[in-house]
Amino acid sequence: MSLAFAPIRSSVPAVVGARLTVPLVTGELVPYANLDHAASAPCLEQVRDAVDELLPWYASVHRGAGFASQVCTRIYEQARHAVRRFVGARQTDAVVFTRNTTDSLNLLARSLPKGTSVFVFDTDHHAALLPWRGPRVNRLQTPATPAEAVRVLDEALKAAPVGPRLVVITGASNVTGEVWPVNDLVRCAHSHGARTVLDAAQLAPHRPVDASTAEVDYVVLSGHKLYAPFGAGALVGRSDWLQQAEPYLIGGGATRNVVDWGDHLGVSWSKVPERHEAGSPNVVGVHALAVACGVLARQRWEDVKAHEEKLFAQLKDGLATVPGFRELTLFGEEAPDRVGVVSFTVDGHDAGLLAAILSAEYGIGVRDGAFCAHIATKRLLSTSGAEGGRALRISLGLGNNAEHVSRVVGALRRIVADGPKWEYELVDGRWTPKNDPRPLPPFLADL
């Protein structure tokens, strides 16, 4: 007798690669457990389908007379509205398409008025920490609580010289997953006449962003964190500083007119947003980003949050049973909210070796290292009493299920108890299986 099972219906969007299998060094094939969403999230199926639908129409954007060019131009410009709605921005806010969050923050850094004072916490990701230059950059020390973060910012703003000011705010830490007190920090900044930029790269895939309600001046995000891995990001915010700045890149699109004056070229620049979008636009990536924004905006955020919180609770309970587990945390019990990220160490075990074993012997993808937030990670490692300068990070998202969580917890417990099944060696600073027998996918053979 055969039994028919009804398909499992999920309340959250499906991702590409949910049925991907990967080889193990032991010769088996297992379903891939992608527990590295914080680095790059998988593609939503609806995003893939939208890209496939666009590709036959793919053509130049702006100034093209052909019908396909007009279609792509319409898609590109409509994407601005989708991204603006997704982050709850004002209708007057500019939407400048970039490559990613890092690109967006570097663009904003290049657009600051002369003499701008910048305030940034030293626990931020390098994309938010490093673009700012000059004597008026104020690095704020790691706060122990959300309330202390606001107090530290308030004191720094009081002591700063007059003039334009910008406060850099991280929505959620890519190291610990802890959500920062965005609204309180924005209110503090505005009470001193400062503008704010919200790094929403880690927050936007997990929680709704409402820039107008929070009165955030600028929001930056990345498509590849938002289930749209096609090379697009965005800077959304007030246009005056962007309009006054020299173009971030110089080339076609950024120029309104070029005149040959003999000894030099006279150039007049386009207005924002084209002013900072020189070159041929990434229409495929921008369309993918817009579709992802639309899918998540239509999705009930309660469903996304409930899905992730259930898995996160399972993960936290499971990791607590791993001998030698030490979690990294900024705020401890004071954290008001967390997205599904846990960074940790296991006493007596190298984080890089653990990551290699999880991949090679269990088909699990995690991240090890300092997560492009070296100051934060090293400081938290020191605070937790862990050895070495690297941690292991597990990050959850829409592509995960309960089996993934059970597998990684069980694998860590077995590794601690029995060690690896295979031999490993350091190659160029990274652990890898000796004589790795895992075959690469066939499509690489032709490259």
Active site residues: 372
C-alpha pair distances (Å), 134 with each of 34, 115, 139: 40, 9, 12
In 3D space, the residue among 392, 430, 411, 416 whose CA is nearest the CA of residue 39 turns out to be: 392
Q: Is 363 helix (H, G, I), strand (E, B) or coil?
A: coil
Q: Write out the two tokens for 383.
A: 């605070």
CA angle 216, 370, 224 (to 5 degrees): 50
In 3D space, the residue among 86, 61, 63, 89 whose CA is nearest the CA of residue 75 turns out to be: 61
Determine contact, residues 194/248, Cβ cutoff 8 Å.
no
Amino acid identity at 388 = G
Cβ-Cβ contacts under 8 Å for 67 (sequence gap 6 or more): none
C-alpha to C-alpha distance for 170 and 371, rounded to whole angstroms: 15
Cβ-Cβ contacts under 8 Å for 254 (sequence gap 6 or more): 247, 269, 270, 274, 275, 276, 277, 278
